[in-house]
Amino acid sequence: MKKITLIYFLLFVAFLKAQHIDAPDRIILNLTEQPSSSIAVTWHTNESHDNSFVELAEATKWIEFKDSAIKTPAQMNELNYKGNLSYTYSAVLNDLKPNTLYVYRVGYDSVTSEWNQFRTASDTDQPFRFVYFGDPQNGIREDLARVFRKALMTAPEASFWLFAGDLTDLPDESMWKEWFDATGFIHRIVPSIMAIGNHDLYFEMADGKKKKTDKYPLWQSLFTLPENGPEGLEESVYYVDYQGVRFIVLNTNYRLKDQAEWLENILSDNPNKWTVVTYHHPVYSTGEGRDNKDIRETFMPIFDKFNVDLVLQGHDHTYARTYKIYNGKISDDESKGTVYVTSVSGPKQYPANPMYKDLIAKLGTFTQLFQVIDIQGDRLIYNSYTVTGELYDHFELKK
């Protein structure tokens, strides 16, 4: 009897082994510097696969696109992060047609993901919409999944999603696993750009305390973001031009002066009608004992000088949207000024301490939010929604 049990057990183990497939997961699209002609794809597997690839074709109404699909080899990145060995793969797909629907899948050998679709940006200033999220950070699987799903249902045709940092509370494997569980298939079909927050940085333990570093290896392995920023800040400081809008992503954790110099350069040569900047630490903090004076003094004069329209921030775990601000005051000139928003998508929220209450048009907290922003020629239309679907804040900017 014992012998038979053992045989059954061994057969069962052999069956499980035969069934094991190291399927690609954590598949994510990122915008590149040229979203009308290229896109970046990144994914992960548990074991290493040298011959990994992305397969791409123009979408068709049936499955005949498969006959014309072209394989692009992926670059493998082996990362040993605090004892966790992980393998990620990335490829930038170039020479794409503007405003065109493509299908792609990723894989190795005969193991592939499902086919997914995305649309490239137009090469003209066509109207579009994007979604902006403040800090997710905590309870990602438990409390963020419904925010992401409601955002997708509210703006299913959004061109991309934008995150203002602190995507996870700690840069570790288990949290990123939660992240990709919570976002589900969304990252596979809606491209993203993200700013790096303080919690996204690698840390070291010193004297029993966490000490933040200026490194972000997991971020760089999980995403493939533009590398057109200052040297050493690749994939955390960059810009993307999308249908008449220059999106600039800053890293407010360190090296502010280097970024200010770079920012002046790219703003002095900006052919786009609109300019949107995103970064993590807000210039007008709403949290008690928080004040980012360096960031305010370094960047706000540049935003004023080059008429930045909208600044999207996080970090304070509250909601605050200013009036149009110019030179630190509410602008009385319709053509000048910048609107600064702080928002939060995650469950961790703080009381709103109205340190700058005179500048703030809408202040709130203990509400999980996402923002849908439309660019329509001379109009920028901003709507903030609660996770339960109610309109929470609204304004428009006109050129």
Positions touching Fe ion (CB under 5 A) are 166, 197-198, 315
Q: Which is nearer to Fe ion, 72 or 198 (CB)?
A: 198
For the record, the structure tokens of 125 come out as 């200033």
**Shortest Å, Cβ 161 to Fe ion:** 18
**Shortest Å, Cβ 193 to Fe ion:** 18
Nearest partner of 104 among 349, 295, 322, 93, judged by Cα: 93
**Shortest Å, Cβ 350 to Fe ion:** 11
Q: Which is nearer to Fe ion, 198 or 307 (CB)?
A: 198
Q: Which is nearer to Fe ion, 135 or 309 (CB)?
A: 135
CA 110 to chain centre: 30
Specify whether the CB–CB gap between 377 and 393 falls below 8 A.
no
16 burial level (CB within 10 Å; 0-12, 13-18, 19+): exposed
**Shortest Å, Cβ 197 to Fe ion:** 4
Q: Which is nearer to Fe ion, 178 or 316 (CB)?
A: 316
**Shortest Å, Cβ 166 to Fe ion:** 4
**Tokens 């921030």 belong to residue:** 313
Q: Which is nearer to Fe ion, 313 or 371 (CB)?
A: 313
Instruction: Give the amino acid at 181.
Output: D
For the record, the structure tokens of 179 come out as 């992240």
d(CA 273, CA 237): 21
Q: Which is nearer to Fe ion, 129 or 212 (CB)?
A: 212
Q: Which is nearer to Fe ion, 120 or 342 (CB)?
A: 342
**Shortest Å, Cβ 15 to Fe ion:** 47
Nearest partner of 251 among 194, 291, 190, judged by Cα: 194
Q: Which is nearer to Fe ion, 315 or 324 (CB)?
A: 315
DSSP state of 72: E
Nearest partner of 113 among 200, 62, 43, judged by Cα: 43
Q: Which is nearer to Fe ion, 136 or 197 (CB)?
A: 197
> How many helices (H) and strands (E) in the chain?
7, 26
Residues in the chain: 399
d(CA 293, CA 297): 6
Q: Report CA Rg, the chain.
A: 22
**Shortest Å, Cβ 241 to Fe ion:** 27
User: Half-sphere exposure of residue 233, counting CA atoms within 13 Å on the CB side?
Assistant: 22
Query: What are the Cα distances from residue 65, in Å, to 37, 243, 303?
Result: 19, 27, 46
Helices (H), the chain: 2-19, 145-154, 173-183, 186-189, 217-222, 256-268, 293-305
**Shortest Å, Cβ 346 to Fe ion:** 11
**Shortest Å, Cβ 239 to Fe ion:** 22
**Shortest Å, Cβ 315 to Fe ion:** 4
Q: Which is nearer to Fe ion, 37 or 198 (CB)?
A: 198
* Residue whose beta carbon is closest to Fe ion: 315
DSSP string, 91-128: EEE-SPPTT-EEEEEEEETTEE---EEEEPPPSS---E
